[in-house]
A = this chain, B = another copy of it.
Amino acid sequence: MKKPDIRLYGLIDPDNSGGHDLLWLTEGIARGGVTMIQLRDKKSETADFIRLAKDIKAILNPLHVPLLINDRVDVAFAAGADGVHLGQNDLDPESARRILGRDAIIGLTVRDQAEADAAPLDIIDYVGLGGVFDTASKVNQAPPIGLEGLQSLSESLRARRPGLTICAIAGISIGNTPSVLDAGADGVAVISALSGVADPTGAARDFRAAIDTALTVRGAA
């Protein structure tokens, strides 16, 4: 069982880049302290998506930050990415594992108790849990689960698999990060809070400081 470092999981999306160049944004948040990056691209042609993923991977390699691809397992394979993040409407985790192999990092979005119960926890490496709060960056059909939902679903998942890595998704800010980690998440996934600011590196640095402080407090408790 891998333990991916998802303390600060930055999402890169051409549709939500805050007008920044994607490669500049990637390098900036990686230097600021993002521990993993996910590339989401719902519009590009496959070959363009692969090219972008390879360019981003080349930036991240020397910084030792893994790159995961949203949804597209074929793109992850062709680009040599470190893994995939799968939504409930994406490829099934077992097929993804067979394509990418055991070393790949595979994450799965879980939005409610039924999805938590159905999640193949022997195949995936982490769960993206949420949406925790309302968010502007993605249309969520379901109402947010809140801190209570985050806590109860985390406990339910870890009852089946102790130590499971859980990342909180949607509407995360520096302000609510301590309560999110206190509710059981190991880290937070962030998009607009990093891309939609003038200084993404500084924002990532501030996020990481808040996260590491909260985790230290939690660890000492």
How many chain A residues sit at the interface, stated as a range, is: 20 to 34
Contacts of A96 in B (CB 8 A): 74
Check B90–A45 contact: CB distance below 8 A: yes
Check A50–B99 contact: CB distance below 8 A: no
Check A48–B89 contact: CB distance below 8 A: yes
Contacts of A73 in B (CB 8 A): 74, 77
Q: Is the interface of A mostly helix, strand, loop or mixed?
A: helix
Which residues of chain A in 1-52 are interfacial with respect to chain B, using CB atoms and an 8 Å cutoff?
45-48, 50
Contacts of A89 in B (CB 8 A): 45-48
- How many copies of this chain does one complex carry? 2
Contacts of A74 in B (CB 8 A): 72-74, 77, 91, 95-96, 99
Distance between Cα atoms of A2 and B140 in the complex (Å): 46
- A residues bordering B, Cβ < 8 Å? 45-48, 50, 71-75, 77-78, 88-92, 95-96, 98-99
For this complex, 14 residue pairs linking A to B, each with C-beta atoms less than 8 Å apart, are A45-B89, A45-B90, A47-B92, A48-B89, A50-B91, A72-B74, A73-B74, A73-B77, A74-B74, A74-B77, A74-B96, A78-B91, A78-B92, A78-B95
